[in-house]
Amino acid sequence: MSPLPKLTSATRSRPIPPAWPFDSEALRVVEQSVLYCDFARRDATGSSDARAVIRFLTTADIDAAEELNLAVLCRLPHPHILRREGRDYLTQHVRERGRCIGAFSGNEMIAFTVLSFPRDEPDNLGIDLGFGREQRLRVCHFELSGVHPDFRGHHLHRTMNLLRARFAGAAGYNHLCGTVSPRNPYSLRNHMSGGMVVRKLVQKYGGMDRYIIYRNYNQMTALRPGAMAAAVTCECLDIQAQKALLNENYWGISVDKPEGGVWQITYVPGAMVDVQ
């Protein structure tokens, strides 16, 4: 495996100091951490063992992230699955508004993801969830993600989510939020595996249907007793039925595709309870 570019003080992302006391050393350790994801790489000659290296991105990685983002967008089965973002967006989130994380096979970027700290900006998803300002300031967005089509199915998205959550938690942004298209059940399942639940279904980004997903990083939660007895399953593309359930305080907790069927999401009432 070829060595990755060495991180230096000139290329590392600038810190974003939260507006509250935090452990700067713990945050630095998280940002310098590297995760590994082993998988079997398949090509025309067969399969071979490979390892993805997952780390925070720097300004030196923006070209590769932009190229990968365009490759992902060009192969989407539906244009509403991901919103289009350009170089300025990636640059802003590497250096100012958040962080970017990438997965590499050798020197090739094969996946990337973005986390954002919206604070008082009008796109803060805490507004949609009815949060007060103090809660909204601690919102972290799990934003744009992309995995090269040749490397899907190896849990790269889930592993990058783990690193996103660690950084947000270390910085004190405990309200983890994101948006996912109902046409992207694979992404939704990855988020749900990390504890996210569907809280709302709205239109964003110029008329695109989006789940708003949520998790409180500081709380361990479980289903309320008896919740599964009242569970309701809907097709992911049945927008109106899901909105009706969400308006009755049902939360989406899992997504699956029965053999020979279509993708379905399971909703339960009463949401979660804290686990002591």
pLDDT tens-digit readout, 220-257: 877 888 889 999 999 999 999 999 999 999 999 999 99
Is residue 112 within 8 A of residue 54, CB to CB? The reply is no
Q: What is the pLDDT of residue 221?
A: 76
Q: What is the pLDDT of residue 5?
A: 33
Question: What's the Cα-to-Cα distance from 99 to each of 77, 117, 131, 144, 266, rounded to whole Å?
Answer: 28, 9, 23, 11, 32
Q: Please give the mean pLDDT across all residues of the chain.
A: 88
Over residues 207-229, mean pLDDT: 90
Residue 203: other Cβ atoms inside 10 A: 10
How many angstroms separate the most distant Cα atoms in the chain? 56
Q: Is 176 exposed, middle or buried (0-12, 13-18, 19+ CB in 10 A)?
A: buried
Helix (H) or strand (E) holding 66: helix 62-74
The C-alpha R_g of the chain, in whole angstroms, comes to 19
Over residues 202-217, mean pLDDT: 96
User: For 171-197, how does the pLDDT look when each residue is reduced to its tens digit (9 = 90+)?
Assistant: 999 999 999 999 999 999 999 999 999
Q: Is the pLDDT of residue 272 over 70?
A: no
Tokens for 50, please give them.
């490979």
User: For 55-112, how does the pLDDT look when each residue is reduced to its tens digit (9 = 90+)?
Assistant: 999 999 999 999 999 999 999 999 999 988 889 999 999 978 899 999 999 999 999 9
What pTM value is reported for the model?
0.88
User: For 40-61, how does the pLDDT look when each residue is reduced to its tens digit (9 = 90+)?
Assistant: 776 666 667 889 999 999 999 9
